[in-house]
């Protein structure tokens, strides 16, 4: 039996992958043999990302592109197809969060979160699907969240977007499965990245942030995840090992969704 997790010869686009979860997934794909393409919103972040990949011995291709801008995305994908080749694996990773109580949140802020976290995966997916069909198949992996299943104070827009992304995942699987396209989601638990840094900040007296302690108590693994915890599941969903897995959300959460919580 060959290595069914190999990504040799595949071209993978991971959006917003200069650092954080996207970077860890891209690193794992490169180690499995794929050619890495990533984008970020600013040139300085792309440059920072390129240097970080180089430090890992990876020759990545970095581009500036705002994933919410349909015209820019179409031009970006056309450029990648011309310069590197047809994208075999797309990871819709770029995302933002705004933690604001719902009744204090402006519609503009709400729309911005939905734009990056839900509309953009729609825009980028529809830009890559036609060439995947022509090539005979492809893999799309949407980075969902605990908030695809759960709510909490201050994250109404994020939860609405990530819940929507779960259903977009199932719909892409439904609509394009017959073309050998598998679209699945990864639902990370609480992962230590810049996005969650404010939730882990030490208090003035040096003690843990209350949310930090709350997450550790709520997670059977009793720790925050690291971006590298997502590497194995991401490789699985990009490889031929998952060729009959479609429309599934794989939660990688140290057990949070299985757990009722510690008794007081
Ligand atoms: P992060 O550290 O904030 O990284 C997100 C990346 O996306 C950044 O490079 C960011 O660039 C980029 N980005 C944002 N808006 C963009 C746009 N319009 N166009 C292109 N790139 C854009 O986040 P992360 O924690 O690694 O999260 C990655 C994904 O996982 C997100 O979708 C997030 O919602 C999801 N997630 C995270 C966690 C967690 O606990 N960390 C858990 C579940 C799901 P800038 O730096 O310029 O903003
Ligand atoms: C929050 C968090 C999240 C996580 C993640 C959980 O404020 O609750 O930032 O929502 O980043 O998406 O899976």
- Give residue-wise pLDDT tens across range 224-251: 999 999 999 999 999 999 999 999 999 9
Kindly give the number of the ligand 1 atom that is closest to the alpha carbon of 146: 43
Q: From residue 65, give the alpha-carbon distance in Å to each of 8, 113, 258, 262.
A: 26, 17, 37, 44
Predicted confidence at residue 1, as pLDDT, reads: 53
- Look at ligand 1, atom 42, and give the residue with the nearest C-alpha: 188
Q: What's the pLDDT tens digit per position in 96-144?
A: 999 999 999 999 999 999 999 999 999 999 999 999 999 999 999 999 9
Instruction: Please indicate whether residue 159, judged by its CB atom, sits closer than 6 Å to ligand 1.
Output: no
HEC profile of the chain: CCCCCCCCCCEEEEECCCCHHHHHHHHHHHHCCCEEEEEECCHHHHHHHHHHHHHCCCCCEEEECCCCCHHHHHHHHHHHHHHCCCCCEEEECCCCCCCCCHHHCCHHHHHHHHHHHHHHHHHHHHHHHHHHHHHCCEEEEEECCHHHCCCCCCCHHHHHHHHHHHHHHHHHHHHHHHHCEEEEEEEECCECCHHHHHHCCCCCCCCCCHHHHHHHHHCCCCCCECHHHHHHHHHHHHCHHHCCCCCCEEEECCCHHHCCCCCC
How far apart are the CA of 16 and the centre of ligand 1, in A? 6
Q: Left if phi > 0, otherwise alpha if psi is -120 to 50, otherwise beta: which for 255?
A: left
User: Residue 183's Cα: distance from chain center in Å?
Assistant: 13
Kindly give the number of the ligand 2 atom that is closest to the alpha carbon of 196. Answer: 9
pLDDT band at 9 (very low <50, low <70, confident <90, very high): very high
pTM exceeds 0.95: yes
Confidence check: pLDDT of 162 > 90: yes
- What is the per-residue pLDDT for 264? 84
What pLDDT shows up at residue 111? 98
Q: What is the largest CA-CA distance in the chain?
A: 59
Distance separating alpha carbons of residues 24 and 252, to the nearest angstrom: 14
Ligand 1 atom having least distance to the Cα of 42 = 47
Catalytic (active site) residue 158: yes
234 alpha carbon, closest ligand: 1
Choose among 256, 3, 40, 4: nearest CA to 149.
256
105 lines ligand 1 (CB under 6 A): no
pLDDT in tens, 35-87: 999 999 999 999 999 999 999 999 999 999 999 999 999 999 999 999 999 99
Give the separation between CA 157 and CA 49, rounded to whole angstroms: 28
What's the token pair of residue 238?
Answer: 């990009």
How many CB atoms are closer than 10 A to CB 163?
A: 18
């Amino acid at each position: 039996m060959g290595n069914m997790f190999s990504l040799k010869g595949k071209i993978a686009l991971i959006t917003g992958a200069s650092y954080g979860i996207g970077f860890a997934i891209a690193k794992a794909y490169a180690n499995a043999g794929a050619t890495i393409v990533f984008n970020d919103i600013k040139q300085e972040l792309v440059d920072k990302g390129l240097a970080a990949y180089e430090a890992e011995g990876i020759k990545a291709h970095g581009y500036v592109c705002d994933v919410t801008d349909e015209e820019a995305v179409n031009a970006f994908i056309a450029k990648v197809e011309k310069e590197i080749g047809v994208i075999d694996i797309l990871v819709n990773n770029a995302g933002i969060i705004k933690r604001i109580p719902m009744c204090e949140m402006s519609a503009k802020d709400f729309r911005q979160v939905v734009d990056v976290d839900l509309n953009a995966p729609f825009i980028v997916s529809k830009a890559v699907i036609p060439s995947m069909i022509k090539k005979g198949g492809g893999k799309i992996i949407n980075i969902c969240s605990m908030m695809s299943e759960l709510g909490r104070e201050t994250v109404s827009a994020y939860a609405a977007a990530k819940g929507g992304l779960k259903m977009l995942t199932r719909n892409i699987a439904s609509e394009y499965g017959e073309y050998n396209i598998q679209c699945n989601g990864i639902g990370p638990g609480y992962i230590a990245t810049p996005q969650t840094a404010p939730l882990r900040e030490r208090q003035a007296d040096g003690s843990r942030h209350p949310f930090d302690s709350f997450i550790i108590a709520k997670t059977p693994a009793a720790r925050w995840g690291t971006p590298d915890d997502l590497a194995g599941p991401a490789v699985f969903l990009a490889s031929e090992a998952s060729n009959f897995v479609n429309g599934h959300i794989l939660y990688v959460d140290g057990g949070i969704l299985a757990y009722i919580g510690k008794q007081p």
